[in-house]
Amino acid sequence: MLELATADGRVPADDARKDSPLAVRGLTVSYGEKPAVFSVDMTVPKGSMTAIIGPNGAGKSTMLKAVLGIVKPLSGQVEVFGCPLADQRARIAYVPQRASVDWDFPTRVIDVVLMGLYREVGLLGRLRGAHVDRARSCLDRVGMAAFADRQIGQLSGGQQQRVFLARALAQDADLYLLDEPFAGVDAATEKAIIAVLKSLKSEGKTVVAVHHDLATVRDYFDHVFLINVRRIAEGPVDEAFTAETLQEAYGGRLASTQVDQLSAVLA
Amino acid sequence: MMGAEFVPLSLPPMLIGTFAAIACALPGNFLLLRRQALIGDAISHVVLPGIVAAFLLTGMVSTWPMMLGAMAAAVLAVLLIETIRRLGKIEPGAAMGVIFTSMFAGGVLLLEMTDTSAVHLDVQHALYGNLESLIWLDATGWSSLLDPDALRYLPAELPRMAITLVVVALFIAAIWRPLKISTFDEGFARTLGIPTGLIGMALVTVAAVAAVAAFDAVGSIIVIAMFICPPAAARMMTNRLERQIGWSVVFATISAVLGYVLAGYGPLWLGAQDAVSAAGMIATVSGLILGITALAGPCRTRSGAPEGA
């Protein structure tokens, strides 16, 4: 098989890709004439916590959606645990952006979490007490057990985000993909979410999150993937999350306050 | 009320009206949540070219070819609307506007270009239906419901609407779970492997079938009203989709029965001579129910609304 070198000339070993919970090659996605994601390769290491980082409009969410089959890529291959996505759906959990749904939808918190059990319960299978108990324990893990019977529209933004995370926990997956899980949430929620994600990692699960807050990358993640339509850099935080790679990804778009923040972080 | 009068004259139209109202309200719940509720309005326009085409093909002014033509046009329209919505990535209202105006215009042209002297397109009938004429003259009282000879002469609309209602209800029950998940969170539904595009198409197709069947039996006013009013009123009664469906059935039934009774007897009670259109009254009652629930329903505040509004 012809081996294509990636942007920085490094070719991930075949073994690394086979082992990887999520390996992407040559992914190109376009909504109009200009590609949103162009010829991107990515290999997520097993058991890692990987942040997908890049400026607004860099294709972070698009890439996640293409990986999950929510948007159709123009080209490229996605392998999940070394197999095509369709065979591995049961091993993936997804947390979409909070703003992507209508929170006035007539349903309760517990019902949203139970949606995470769809693959298990099936089209016509009966929801049993055990299922509801599991959904409740997932809510408990994100500190939302007391809200199980509330209508979802009555929650704050942070609480809604935690409910989405609880639904992903109910999926009991090996690979967790999250789209901006910390966007617009309160400090307590951010703490609760990162605690859950770290406990997932300690259970050997793999976590990939689109992330926008450069200041917290080092505290929260061990791997980064920098993207600005094309792949900029990828690797352990210490190697790939540097002033040079950030400059390349963000170009002149980093505000001076962000640069100050970053130099403090990177120092 | 005496069975001898009620069974032949009032029972069939009441049942037909109720079945039609429920058959439209059931998919209406999902269409409302998907911001597609105006599809009933769109369908009532696009059936015109279907009816004209069916007449041109068969040369007959009879129910079945016309209904099949209407059905084909409605299904074609909803498929086009879904396709345009997805390919153009535009909101459903815009896609509907494009399709139903152009198909309606096409129907008008088709009608003009052909010899229309033989076709009597009854606007009155299309709008208000003819609920009052759906009587069962062979019935003599409640006992006729068990009399096979009398039952054979039930208005054809009654079994047709009943079957439509059963089909619609079974469809929603069968795909309840994926339908609910993909209505709430389409992206997440797709990661579960749910064919969300197919489910969306199936929903609008079933809605089109219900609309055309009801359109033929009771007119388009009821169709348009029942897709929107009972589900919208039901939404204000509860914060759970399962209960919303139940309330929408209750409101659709109340609208149909109360509307029929008020249309028939209301003017008499007020001292007038004639009855008013049952279809118009049924739609009006459903609108009044919506108004009452909007004012007094327990779950009418949207979280998106500003505080204190």
Query: Mean pLDDT, to the nearest integer, of B156-182?
Result: 94
What pLDDT band is residue B219 in, cutting at 50, 70 and 90? Answer: confident
- Shortest Cα distance, chain B CAs vs residue A235, angstroms: 26
Q: Is the pLDDT of residue B9 over 90?
A: no
What residue has token string 């007119």? B219
Q: Is the pLDDT of residue B126 over 70?
A: no
DSSP run (H or E) holding B82: helix B63-88
Q: Of A70, A106, A167, which is closest to B241 when you measure between CB atoms?
A: A106
Could you tell me if A151 lies within 8 Å of chain B, comparing CB atoms?
yes
Could you tell me if A121 lies within 8 Å of chain B, comparing CB atoms?
yes
pLDDT tens-place values along chain A, 267 residues long: 344 444 444 555 566 677 799 999 999 999 878 889 999 999 999 999 999 999 988 899 999 999 999 999 999 999 999 999 989 999 999 999 998 999 999 999 999 999 999 988 887 888 888 999 999 999 999 999 999 999 999 999 999 999 999 999 999 999 999 999 999 899 999 999 999 999 999 999 999 999 988 989 999 999 999 999 999 999 999 999 988 888 888 886 666 666 666 666 665
- Shortest Cα distance, chain A CAs vs residue B181, angstroms: 7
CB spacing of B303 vs A118 below 8 angstroms: no
Q: Yes or no: say if A92 and A68 are a contact pair by the CB < 8 Å rule.
A: yes
Q: Lowest-confidence range among B42-51, B106-115, B124-133, B210-219?
A: B124-133
Tell how strand A92-95 and strand A175-179 pair up: parallel
- Shortest Cα distance, chain B CAs vs residue A216, angstroms: 27
Could you tell me if A156 lies within 8 Å of chain B, comparing CB atoms?
no
CB spacing of A102 vs B188 below 8 angstroms: no
- Partners of A65 on chain B (C-beta within 8 Å) are 187
pLDDT of residue B90: 84
Mutate to test the interface with B, among A62, A111, A177 (most CBs of B within 10 A): A111
pLDDT of residue B252: 97
Mutate to test the interface with B, among A61, A94, A98, A127 (most CBs of B within 10 A): A94
Per cent of chain B over pLDDT 70 is 91
- Partners of B303 on chain A (C-beta within 8 Å) are 103-104, 153-154
Q: Of B191, B243, B299, which is closest to A89 when you measure between CB atoms?
A: B191
CB spacing of A123 vs B33 below 8 angstroms: no
Residues 6 or more apart whose CB falls under 8 angstroms from that of A137 comprise none
B230-247 burial, b at 16+ Cβ within 10 Å, e below that, comes to bbbbbbbbbbbbeebbeb
CB spacing of A153 vs B302 below 8 angstroms: yes
pLDDT of residue A14: 62
DSSP B252-275: HHHHHHHHHHHHHHHHHHTT-SS-
What pLDDT band is residue B33 in, cutting at 50, 70 and 90? Answer: very high
All domains of chain A, ordered by start, with CATH?
14-250 (3.40.50.300)
Residues of A numbered 74-93 whose beta carbons fall under 8 angstroms of chain B's beta carbons: which are they?
86, 89, 92
CB spacing of B191 vs A69 below 8 angstroms: yes
- State the sign of the Cα–Cα–Cα–Cα dihedral B287, B288, B292, B297: negative
Q: Yes or no: say if A136 and A110 are a contact pair by the CB < 8 Å rule.
A: yes
All domains of chain B, ordered by start, with CATH?
3-116+139-218 (1.10.3470.10)
Query: Closest by alpha carbon to A194, among A168, A177, A213, A219?
Result: A219
Measured distance CA(A56)–CA(A263) in Å, rounded: 21
What pLDDT band is residue B91 in, cutting at 50, 70 and 90? Answer: confident
pLDDT of residue B233: 97
Q: Yes or no: say if B282 and B134 are a contact pair by the CB < 8 Å rule.
A: no
- Shortest Cα distance, chain A CAs vs residue B8, angstroms: 41
Could you tell me if B14 lies within 8 Å of chain A, comparing CB atoms?
no
Measured distance CA(B102)–CA(B290) in Å, rounded: 31
Measured distance CA(A173)–CA(A91) in Å, rounded: 4
- Partners of A154 on chain B (C-beta within 8 Å) are 303
A28 forms beta bridges with A75
- If DSSP codes are grouped into helix, strand and coil, which group holds residue B101? helix
Query: Closest by alpha carbon to A29, among A84, A88, A69?
Result: A69
pLDDT of residue B40: 80
Q: Of A70, A103, A115, which is closest to B181 when you measure between CB atoms?
A: A115
Q: Of B177, B187, B303, which is closest to A123 when you measure between CB atoms?
A: B177
What residue has token string 């993936």? A92
Could you tell me if B190 lies within 8 Å of chain A, comparing CB atoms?
yes
pLDDT of residue A260: 64
Mean pLDDT taken over chain B: 85
- If DSSP codes are grouped into helix, strand and coil, which group holds residue A71? coil
Q: Of B193, B239, B304, which is closest to A89 when you measure between CB atoms?
A: B193
Alpha carbon B283 to chain centroid distance? 11
CB under 8 Å, gap of 24 or more: what pairs does A32-40 form?
A35/A74, A35/A229, A36/A62, A36/A229, A37/A62, A37/A63, A37/A66, A37/A73, A37/A227, A37/A229, A38/A229, A38/A230, A39/A76, A39/A230, A40/A76, A40/A227, A40/A230, A40/A231
Query: Mean pLDDT, to the nearest integer, of B218-244?
Result: 93
Measured distance CA(A63)–CA(A167) in Å, rounded: 22
Measured distance CA(B279)–CA(B302) in Å, rounded: 31
Could you tell me if B147 lies within 8 Å of chain A, comparing CB atoms?
no
Q: Yes or no: say if B27 and B203 are a contact pair by the CB < 8 Å rule.
A: yes
CB spacing of B240 vs A106 below 8 angstroms: yes
pLDDT of residue A177: 97
Can you point out the beta strands (E) in chain A?
A: 22-30, 35-44, 49-53, 75-80, 83-84, 92-95, 175-179, 206-210, 223-228, 230-236
Could you tell me if B241 lies within 8 Å of chain A, comparing CB atoms?
yes
Alpha carbon A235 to chain centroid distance? 16
Could you tell me if A154 lies within 8 Å of chain B, comparing CB atoms?
yes
Q: Lowest-confidence range among A152-161, B104-113, B124-133, B200-209?
A: B124-133
Q: Chain B residue with minimal CA distance to A105?
A: B184
- If DSSP codes are grouped into helix, strand and coil, which group holds residue A59? coil
CB spacing of B185 vs A94 below 8 angstroms: no
pLDDT of residue B309: 31
Predicted complex ipTM: 0.88
CB spacing of B241 vs A115 below 8 angstroms: no
Q: Lowest-confidence range among A217-231, B47-61, B88-102, B164-178?
A: B47-61
A226-235 burial, b at 16+ Cβ within 10 Å, e below that, comes to bbbbbbbbbb
Measured distance CA(A252)–CA(A208) in Å, rounded: 27
A228 forms beta bridges with A230
Q: Of A31, A94, A123, which is closest to B188 when you measure between CB atoms?
A: A94
pLDDT of residue B184: 96
Q: Is the pLDDT of residue B189 over 80?
A: yes
CB spacing of B244 vs A106 below 8 angstroms: yes
Could you tell me if A94 lies within 8 Å of chain B, comparing CB atoms?
yes
- Cβ pairs bridging A and B (under 8 Å): 82
Query: Mean pLDDT, to the nearest integer, of B93-120?
Result: 78
Alpha carbon A105 to chain centroid distance? 24
Query: Mean pLDDT, to the nearest integer, of B147-170?
Result: 90
CB spacing of A106 vs B194 below 8 angstroms: no
Q: Give Cα separations from A148 to A83, A120, A142, B263, B303 (angstroms).
A: 36, 21, 12, 46, 18
What pLDDT band is residue B307 in, cutting at 50, 70 and 90? Answer: very low
Q: Lowest-confidence range among A56-70, A214-228, B199-213, B266-280?
A: B266-280
Could you tell me if B86 lies within 8 Å of chain A, comparing CB atoms?
no
